Amino acid sequence: MKIQYKFANDTVEIEVSDEWGEILIDLDRQEYNNDHKETRRHYHLEGCAYEGDNFAVEDPALTRLLEDDGMLAKLPSAIASLLPRQRRLINQVFVERKTYVAIAREDGVDESAVRKAVGRALKKLEKLLM
């Protein structure tokens, strides 16, 4: 079986056994699928820039919180009443500015699990601050 690799300025063809050819084709398919999956989650960084600052999350409730001094004063006690994991996630997302993907990799969970956990923590904070 002949396998062809295309480079920017050259194409290389190699002869391999059928067994290795099937393995290489399967690996190429897996690599394509992984690349395709990753590109669907990305968005343009200019989409989250506002007046020179980059925001990890666009959330109307968070904006409202930062604009209200009374709510802002209650924030430390509200954060203290969260579960330890929720406090850690809020800190990682809003203070350390880590992405959901990075947190998910560190924790060994799916990105959607991190996204949902942060959402639940924000809803709990919103209830505590109202």
Q: Poorest-confidence range of 49-58, 67-76, 115-124?
A: 49-58
Instruction: Kindly report the length of the chain.
Output: 130
pTM score, whole prediction:
0.49
| Distance of alpha carbon 14 from alpha carbon 16, whole angstroms | 6
Q: How confident is the model at residue 84 (pLDDT cuts 50, 70, 90)?
A: very high
Report all structural domains of the chain as residue ranges with CATH numbers, in order of start.
2-40 (no CATH), 46-129 (1.10.10.10)
Q: Which residue(s) pair with 53 in the sheet?
A: 50
